[in-house]
């Protein structure tokens, strides 16, 4: 046989072998899948036929679906049953009314957690704080409640009321009554208002330092941000402080538009990629640049999603100095996919956002790195009590009345901000901007951050453990009072044993990841 024929024959054998191997592997995977489906079918059949009580088959189906999704450890992937689709479409369309807060499920407590209330929203005005755990909604316990159900209960017609019981980070429980309203927020704000109640974006007229607070990324945020920056340019601003604290995020195109206003052309803003989603990188443009002076970004643990994208884009490209604390770590992309059967839809996480330096924004289980971190020397933390005092002063100053804007403008300094506004992070940001303008270099205004980050994680875990213990203690106290009052204790109301309390607290991570 000629040499070339032997080579052709050998290649044919190899190709055939690979095809057989691929076919075999594919059939094996299909076989495994059918066996797993068969297990579920057999289990359902036995329960329906043999259980002492007749099961609710629709309830069983929903529980199976939710259990399958919960195994992903991804609170943002959810199944929308047919009855949920209309409500979901209403939310996405922006025609709903509610309390105005970004929520998630706290995995340790298995309850609804406030990521951040939206400024000027009913939740914000009623005193709801970032990090609050919602224990009750209209008298119903929230333990085990899904994100979809939580949003459904918190939203409702304009003018209706919802009562929630929250536990603040301080450990204090509070009952808050909120009147629902259309969430229509002005997202771009300045430092103070003038006599006509328009925002004044110049923080420090002496050093020509502006201040812009962005509370959310919606379709109007881009044009409003551009107008604010152009106003600062006209007034000769040398630097601007961009405040993204407590910003829960919003639209990706708006985040890209805002980042582009500060960056020169050709800089990486963000990339998106997933297991089955090819990488898509977005770069800045020369035409999008609006402000060329120095920039300080303020962000904290309640800055999420789009606000993390902007913070990371400006920080990684050395366009801004980031002052504050590590951001929240919400950098996942969700897509709604109607099922082929027509029975509902799957809102599925199919990709993650990545910073220009290549790091993933999203915080996954057991992750050591997530979000965006300030540089060493610029980590400035605030305690829950300090944040509460600062937000109260901010809320009061944001109220539109005859007093706001009528005061004679005082000379602004970092010390004045600390004493009068109780805002340590804004004071540090202003100190950094003044130093850069006067000396040409960024002065360190905070700590190195390593120990602070570790302690912040430890504090967060300890607070969660305290909440778990407090919850169990509350239950025990109720049972003690029942017994002392001579009430009959039903089987379902038996006191919580110390062992049960131990089981509930074992999941709490007491030692932060190194």
Give the pLDDT confidence score for residue 42 in this predicted structure. 87
Residue closest to 290 by CA, chosen among 225, 221, 202? 225
Residue closest to 79 by CA, chosen among 146, 150, 153? 146
Domain ranges of the chain: 3-55, 78-182, 188-448, 454-505
Give the pLDDT confidence score for residue 456 in this predicted structure. 67
Coil vs helix vs strand at 174: strand
Which CATH architecture fits 188-448? Alpha-Beta Complex (3.90)
Burial of 341 from C-beta contacts in 10 A (0-12 / 13-18 / 19+): exposed
Give the pLDDT confidence score for residue 93 in this predicted structure. 43
- Using CA atoms, how far residue 336 sits from 6, 75, 110, 339, 407, in Å, is 53, 15, 24, 10, 50
Do residues 372 and 379 lie in contact, with contact meaning Cβ atoms separated by under 8 Å? no
- Using CA atoms, how far residue 334 sits from 124, 280, 346, 390, in Å, is 26, 15, 10, 34
Q: Which residue has the tokens 């929630």?
A: 164
Give the pLDDT confidence score for residue 506 in this predicted structure. 30
Residues annotated as part of the active site:
305, 316, 330
Q: Residues with Cβ < 8 Å from 329, sequence gap 6 or more?
A: 304, 308, 361, 362, 363, 367, 370, 371
Per-residue tokens: 472: 């169990």
pLDDT in tens, the chain (514 residues): 554 554 444 444 444 444 444 445 545 555 566 667 778 888 888 888 889 899 998 888 888 888 888 888 888 888 887 766 665 555 444 346 899 888 888 888 899 999 878 767 899 889 898 889 999 999 999 999 988 889 889 988 899 999 999 999 888 999 999 999 987 667 899 998 777 768 899 999 999 999 999 999 988 899 999 999 999 999 999 999 999 999 999 889 999 999 999 999 999 999 999 999 999 999 999 999 999 999 999 999 999 999 999 999 999 999 999 999 999 999 998 888 888 777 788 889 999 999 999 999 999 878 888 999 999 999 999 988 899 899 988 877 765 444 555 454 567 899 999 999 999 999 999 999 999 999 999 999 999 876 666 676 677 777 778 888 888 888 888 888 888 887 766 554 544 443 333 333 233 222 222 2
Tell me the fold of 78-182. Pdz3 Domain (2.30.42)
Instruction: Give the integer Cα–Cα distance in Å for 480 and 478.
Output: 5
Instruction: Give the integer Cα–Cα distance in Å for 412 and 190.
Output: 14
Instruction: Give the integer Cα–Cα distance in Å for 130 and 251.
Output: 20
């Amino acid at each position: 046989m000629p040499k070339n024929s032997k080579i052709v024959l050998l290649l044919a054998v190899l190709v055939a072998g690979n095809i057989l191997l691929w076919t075999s592997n594919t059939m094996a995977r299909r076989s495994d899948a059918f066996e797993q489906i068969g297990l579920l079918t057999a289990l359902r059949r036995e329960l329906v036929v043999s259980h002492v009580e007749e099961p609710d088959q629709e309830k069983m189906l929903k529980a199976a679906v939710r259990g399958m999704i919960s195994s992903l450890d991804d609170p943002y992937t959810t199944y929308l049953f047919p009855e949920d689709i209309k409500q979901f479409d209403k939310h996405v369309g922006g025609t709903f009314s509610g309390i105005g807060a970004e929520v998630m499920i706290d995995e340790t407590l298995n309850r609804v957690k406030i990521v951040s209330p939206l400024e000027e929203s009913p939740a914000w005005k009623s005193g709801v704080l970032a990090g609050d755990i919602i224990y009750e909604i209209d008298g119903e316990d929230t333990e085990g409640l899904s994100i979809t159900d939580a949003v459904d209960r918190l939203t409702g017609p304009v003018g209706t009321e919802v009562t929630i019981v929250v536990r603040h980070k301080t450990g204090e429980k509070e009952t808050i009554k909120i009147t629902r309203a259309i969430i229509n927020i002005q997202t771009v704000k300045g430092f103070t208002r003038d006599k006509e109640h328009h925002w004044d974006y110049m923080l420090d007229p002496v050093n020509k330092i502006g201040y812009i607070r962005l509370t959310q990324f919606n379709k109007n945020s881009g044009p409003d941000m551009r107008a604010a920056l152009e106003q600062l340019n006209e007034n000769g601003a040398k630097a601007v402080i961009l405040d993204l604290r407590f910003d829960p995020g919003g639209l990706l195109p708006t985040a890209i538009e805002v980042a582009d206003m500060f960056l020169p052309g050709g800089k990486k803003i963000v990339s998106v990629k997933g297991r089955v989603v090819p990488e898509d990188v977005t770069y800045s443009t020369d035409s999008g640049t609006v402000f060329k002076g120095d920039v300080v970004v303020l962000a904290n643990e309640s800055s999420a999603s789009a606000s993390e994208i902007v913070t990371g884009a400006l920080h990684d490209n050395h366009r801004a100095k980031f002052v504050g604390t590590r951001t929240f770590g919400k950098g996942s992309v969700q897509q709604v996919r109607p099922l082929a059967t027509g029975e509902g839809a799957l809102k599925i996480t199919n990709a993650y956002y990545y910073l220009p330096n290549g790091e993933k924004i999203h915080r996954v289980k057991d992750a050591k790195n997530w979000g965006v971190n300030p540089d060493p020397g610029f980590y400035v933390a605030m305690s829950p009590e300090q944040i509460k005092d600062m937000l109260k002063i901010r809320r009061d100053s944001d109220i539109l009345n005859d007093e706001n804007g009528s005061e004679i403008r005082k000379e602004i300094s970092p010390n004045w901000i600390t004493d009068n506004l109780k805002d340590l992070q804004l004071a540090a940001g202003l100190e950094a901007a003044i130093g850069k303008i006067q000396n040409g270099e960024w002065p360190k205004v905070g700590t190195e951050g390593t120990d602070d980050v570790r302690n912040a994680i430890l504090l967060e875990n300890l607070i969660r453990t305290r909440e778990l213990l407090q919850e169990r203690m509350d239950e025990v106290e109720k049972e003690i009072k029942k017994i002392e009052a001579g009430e009959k204790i039903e089987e379902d109301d038996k006191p919580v044993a110390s062992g049960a309390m131990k089981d509930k607290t074992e999941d709490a991570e007491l030692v932060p990841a190194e």
